[in-house]
Amino acid sequence: MTEQEIVERLMEKHEEFRKLKEKHAQLEERLEELQKKLYLTVEEELEVKSIKRQKLELKDKMNEIIVKVKKGELQI
């Protein structure tokens, strides 16, 4: 099974993974909104940094789940 197939299966059958992926997408949308601005306030710059950190944490958690599937530790 390819990684893309694993992700698709997890989206269908693994609630935690689906929530992580949805939250990641929401953060990406907000980040894109902020990056369209010519200038950011100090608060917005801090928000960008926070969003990037949160996205990385979510990505790490999603990758942990994918690795467990690949190792056979998690059945989907």
How many of the other CB atoms lie within 10 Å of CB of 1? Answer: 10
Query: What is residue 31's predicted lDDT score, i.e. its pLDDT?
Result: 98
Count of domains forming the chain: 1
Write the pLDDT tens digit of every residue in 6-49. Answer: 999 999 999 999 999 999 999 999 999 999 999 999 999 999 99
pTM for this predicted structure: 0.90
Is residue 76, in this structure, part of any structural domain at all?
A: no
C-alpha dihedral (21, 15, 12, 50), degrees to nearest 10: 0
Is residue 11, in this structure, part of any structural domain at all?
A: yes
Query: What is residue 30's predicted lDDT score, i.e. its pLDDT?
Result: 98
**Is residue 50 classed as helix, strand or coil in its secondary structure?**
helix
Is residue 75, in this structure, part of any structural domain at all?
A: no
Write the pLDDT tens digit of every residue in 48-75. Answer: 999 999 999 999 999 999 999 999 999 9
Is residue 39, in this structure, part of any structural domain at all?
A: yes
- Output DSSP code: residue 76: -
DSSP string, 18-47: HHHHHHHHHHHHHHHHHHTSSS--HHHHHH
Is residue 56, in this structure, part of any structural domain at all?
A: yes
Residue 23, domain extent: 3-70
